[in-house]
Homo-oligomer: A and B are copies of this chain.
Amino acid sequence: MTKYPEGKEITIYDIARALHVSTATVSRALKNNPAIPQKTRNKILEKARELGYQPNTFASGLRNNRTNTIGVIVPRLNSMFMSDVIAGIEKVINASGYNLIISQSFESAEKEKDGAETLFRNRVAGLLVSLSYATQSFDHFLPFIKKGIPLIFFDRVEDLEGCPAIVIDNFKAAYEITSHLISRGCRELIHITGNLSRNVYKDRLAGFEKALSDHDLPFGAEKVFVTDLSAEAGKEIANRFIEKQVKADGVFTANDTSAVSFMLELKKHGIRIPEDVSIAGFNNDFISEVVDPALTTIDYRGFDMGQITARTLIQLIDRSRDQEITKSIILRHELLIRNSSLH
């Protein structure tokens, strides 16, 4: 009946038998239950080590109906910013004794939904989400909310009942950087952005618009380019600019990747940066420092955001019957003025 294909595992029964105690005692000792006196506990811990005992996470998960696993869903892992965030999350999660399961949506609502379902089925203790471009419905998060599983959004967030959001003030950052461009003499500004369903892009656009209006500069839909913010997108808008379909003396782009590719394409065609066009990006990726001239941008370090997001989640998971609900957090950002905008 019982099958031991490759050497059986050590269980608390083995420890109990070796020490002539009950499994209940062993279980308690292993969990640092104060009912067990130090001496007994030590004996048990030592025997466990001696036998090479490894707790069976399935058995305890089955019993408790909870894991020490935390799920995260992000649009993609391979962007400088996001990999920084994930690195920060992983660091905190792991240091707190949890595991991290990762899922990518590839900017697809469908894949995001699939990821959420899988993570739910795997009984994650908490969920961290940065939304895909395409997400419109949030129903796939309801099971978590209903079941009381803490859910936190970061960066690309949505205001759902009881779900804190960890963000920066995108409106303010965009306002500042746009105002900077204006203060350097730009009068015809355009904005390259991403899907406006997402707060990050919507808010940055709003900040851009407000800065224009506060400085009595005209604004209109023709000044906004909605793209996927890829390097290709930057290049494409640059080409429209080169062909005079687009006029501008200042460009604010919602990420560094597209800003840099935009800049490089212009340079390739002999347009001088920042003399002919000033450019500003967003994120302070390493490329923004490396490109020539260095890109004015918003510093917005992902690693910290990841750590704070993860800490907030763990706090939420660990709250027994605590006081108030953890609220959303707005992180600091910083305007980095560099050569690309010294027009």
Query: Which residues does A use to contact B, with CB under 8 Å?
Result: 6-7, 9, 54-59, 61-62, 65, 67, 69, 76-80, 82-84, 86-87, 90-91, 94, 99-104, 106, 115, 118, 120-123, 146-148, 231, 257, 260, 264, 286-287, 290-292, 302-303
Which residues of chain B come closer than 8 Å to A102, judged between CB atoms? Answer: 86, 90, 100-102
The answer on a CB contact under 8 Å between A6 and B78 is no
CB proximity of A193 to chain B, nearest CB, Å: 20
Choose among B78, B104, B106, B122 the residue that contacts A57 (Cβ–Cβ < 8 A).
B122
Residues of B within 8 A of A106 (CB): 91
Q: Would A87 and B78 count as touching, CB distance under 8 A?
A: yes
9 contacts between A and B (CB under 8 A): A7-B146, A56-B62, A56-B123, A57-B121, A59-B62, A78-B80, A78-B86, A83-B86, A102-B102
Instruction: Please state if B62 and A91 are interface contacts (CB–CB under 8 Å).
Output: no
Partner of A120, one of B54, B69, B94, B100: B54
- Which residues does chain B contribute within 8 Å of A146, judged by CB atoms? 6-7
Shortest distance from the beta carbon of A194 to any chain B beta carbon, whole Å: 18
Residue of B at shortest CB range from A4?
Answer: B65
A82: B residues at CB distance < 8 A: 83
Give Cα distance in the complex from A100 to B112, angstroms.
15
Q: Are A6 and B147 in contact (CB under 8 A)?
A: yes
List chain B residues, Cβ under 8 A from A6.
146-148
> Which 4 residue pairs of A and B lie closest in terms of their CB atoms, listed nearest first?
A83-B83, A58-B61, A58-B62, A78-B87
Q: Which residues of B contact A231 (CB under 8 A)?
A: 286
Q: Which residues of B contact A147 (CB under 8 A)?
A: 6-7
Could you tell me if B55 and A121 are in contact, using CB atoms closer than 8 angstroms?
A: yes
- Per the bound structure, the CA–CA distance linking A61 and B83 in Å amounts to 31
